[in-house]
Amino acid sequence: MSTRKIGATKEDLQNFKEEIVHEFHIISEGVISQVKQVAEGVVNVNEKLERFREEIKEDVENRFGTLAQAIKSVDDKVEKTRQELKTEIQETRQEVLAAIKFSYAELDRRLTNLEKEFLELKHRVEKIESRPVS
């Protein structure tokens, strides 16, 4: 057997060290390359997520704008209907008041006529009762 196989020389250790360092560099370059790919993927996902967030934000703002317009439209219609009802109530009130005044005047006229006719009848009855009986 040879002693050379049992003991390692400085040169063997240097060569072994260089191989290990070389392999480490190869492996680390692969890991660095993969980390860069993952980082690029994360950047792409972040960009897509930001675009999606902006799209959602714009969509929500548009929907809220549309909703606000719809609410304003409904408010305007309700206010218009309220004003129309108020006007109609006022007009109906005026018509009812006019009808009451007319009815009152008519009742007053009839009552005055009845009082006049009653007095005439009373006067006639008194005349008839004051005649001598034959």
Q: Name every residue whose Cβ is closer than 8 Å to that of residue 8 and which is 6 or more positions away in sequence.
A: 16
Give the Cα separation of 125 and 129 in Å (integer). Answer: 6
Structure token pair of residue 129: 């009762």
pLDDT at 6: 58
Q: What is the structure's pLDDT at 1? A: 42
pTM: 0.48
Q: Give the pLDDT score at 120.
A: 94
Non-local (6+) Cβ contacts of 16 within 8 A are 8
φ, ψ of residue 8 to 5 degrees: the values are -100, 140
The per-residue pLDDT for 129 is 87
Cα separation, 86 vs 124, in Å, equals 56
What pLDDT is attached to residue 8?
Answer: 77
Q: Which residue ranges in the chain fall short of pLDDT 50?
A: 1-4
